[in-house]
Structure 1
Amino acid sequence: MRRPRFRPADVAQQIVGGLLLAGPFVVTEEVWVLAESMSSLQTSLLIAGVVVVGYSALYKADKDRDVDIEAKFLGIPLRFVSLLTVAFGAVTVMSFLLAAPRTFGASPMGTLTAISIGSMFSIVGAAAADSLF
């Protein structure tokens, strides 16, 4: 079976989908207040949830993809590495470009947690865009 190509266009689709769904969560005060009240354990579980949702959306929901034949980076499918990078990266960049941590008075841990909350939505949008287009 021929290995599917992972192209720059795929990353662009992920970015558009990730930004589209995560944008509103970056600028919503309730997300930042919620993030400040969450524990380190909750943040860790949330990050794990982002990883599980992303993997499931790419390789379990889309039966046309075979994880075993995808190009790998350190043994991890390159498409999945890109998806995680886009999900967390898009929310991080938006948060700091819009000065959200400063505006909402977030601590470093609160900022990480708020980014993780936004990433849960970003990864869904990024995976959907990657799978649909």
Structure 2
Amino acid sequence: MRRPRRPRFRPSDVAQQVVGGFLLAGPFVVTEEVWTLAATMARWQALATAGLVGLIGYGALYSADRDRDPEAELDVGGIPLRFVSLMVVAFGSVALLAVLFDAPDAFDAGWSVALRAICIGAVFSVVGAATADSVF
């Protein structure tokens, strides 16, 4: 089996994901329109949005970058560790900023709405995180 040209997943890759994820997460945490959308979303829409984050992330890591082979990477329960890290960063960066900025209270939202807003923000955060991981 041919080995991938890129080195395997390293801590520096996580750092790159974090920088990219936070870079694009910030503006969406503090935007009132995001919180208004989240307040009107149904559960299925939030779940579909979370699934979209996964599809975007997987596509950006493994379809857009042909040098990466998910089969050759370390995995967690059959899921590539790089992808797991990307999902943690995408959702985690938005959640952390929401808590640090006290966004749920600022926008008078409960935790159900906050979780939906996190899903919305993660759509953009995953793009930044995956791009930073792939480019650098």
Q: Give TM class, smaller chain.
A: over 0.9
1:120 matched to 2:123? The reply is yes
**Aligned equivalents of 2:12 and 2:70: distance in 1?**
19
1:130 matched to 2:133? The reply is yes
- 8 Å CA contact 1:26–1:95 kept in 2: the answer is yes
Q: 1:40-119 counterparts in 2 under 5 A?
A: 40-119=43-122
- 8 Å CA contact 1:59–1:66 kept in 2: the answer is yes
CA positional deviation for 1:67: 1.0
Aligned equivalent of 1:15: 18
**Aligned equivalents of 2:134 and 2:101: distance in 1?**
29
| Secondary structure, aligned partner of 2:24 | helix
> Could you list the runs of 5+ residues in structure 2 that have no partner in the other structure?
none
**Aligned equivalents of 1:14 and 1:98: distance in 2?**
21
TM-score by length of 1: 0.97
**Aligned equivalents of 1:74 and 1:8: distance in 2?**
20
CA positional deviation for 1:57: 0.5
What value does the CA root-mean-square deviation take over the aligned residues? 1.0
Alignment length, in residue pairs? 133
Q: What are the superposed Cα offsets for residues 91-118 of structure 1, whole Å, 9 maximum, x if unpaired?
A: 0000000000011011221100000000
- 8 Å CA contact 1:36–1:107 kept in 2: the answer is no
**Aligned equivalents of 1:60 and 1:5: distance in 2?**
17
**Aligned equivalents of 1:104 and 1:128: distance in 2?**
30
**Aligned equivalents of 1:114 and 1:123: distance in 2?**
14
> Could you list the runs of 5+ residues in structure 1 that have no partner in the other structure?
none
**Aligned equivalents of 1:105 and 1:132: distance in 2?**
38
TM-score by length of 2: 0.95
| Superposition misfits of 4+ residues, deviation over 6 angstroms | none
% identical aligned pairs:
58
Q: What are the superposed Cα offsets for residues 38-60 of structure 1, whole Å, 9 maximum, x if unpaired?
A: 10111111011001110001001
